[in-house]
Amino acid sequence: MTGLRVSGLTVGQTFETVVVEDLKRTQIVQYAGASGDYNPLHTDDTYATTIAGYPSVFAHGMLTMGLTGQAVAALVGTENLLRFGVRFTAQVWPGDTLTVRSSLARIEETAAGPVAELSVSTVNAGGTEVLSGYAHARLAR
């Protein structure tokens, strides 16, 4: 079982993972097919530009959250995750490189054991935050 141990952690500690480099339109299409969200804003450049007025297709918010979730799950272990929530703060475009930065905000002692509260921020190569959120996960002693 993967996860974090209380003994190895310091409040304020940060973790950084690159979750996608040069996001391809094909990966957005791959996510559309797997998730079931076929919104042409994400999959159809002609529609996105001509009808909706965007410069190109853009990623589903849930693709950004999913990529962020992979980094969080690798850090804490999916089975330890108690809460995971985000706000989408900017759009993600083809060509973007995304980095997930998590920092340990606090460790809460609960009846069920220690829980890590991470603040999570995903940024593009220009440093713009595209997602801002939190993840709470059980810790091993």
d(CA 59, CA 63): 6
Q: How many chain residues are in contact with other proteins, going by CB under 8 A?
A: 40
**Encoded amino acid at 49, one letter:** T
93: tokens are 């475009």
Give whole-number Cα distances, 53 to 11, 29, 124, 141, in Å: 44, 20, 22, 52
Count CB neighbours of 16 within 10 A.
11
Which member of 15, 25, 54, 81 binds other proteins (CB under 8 A)? 81
Q: Which of 16, 55, 83, 113 binds other proteins (CB under 8 A)?
A: 83
Distance CA 100, CA 98 (A): 7
Residue selected from 5, 6, 14, 33 as contacting other proteins according to rule CB under 8 A: 33
Pick out residues in 41-80 that bind other proteins (CB under 8 A). Answer: 43-44, 46-47, 50-51, 60-63, 65-67, 69-70, 72-73, 78-79
Rank residues 67 and 139 by Cβ distance to other proteins and give the closer one.
67
Identified binder of other proteins from the candidate list 31, 75, 104, 122, rule CB under 8 A: 31
Residue 72: count of CB within 10 angstroms of its CB: 23
Residues in contact with other proteins by the rule CB under 8 A: 19-20, 27, 30-31, 33-40, 43-44, 46-47, 50-51, 60-63, 65-67, 69-70, 72-73, 78-79, 81-88
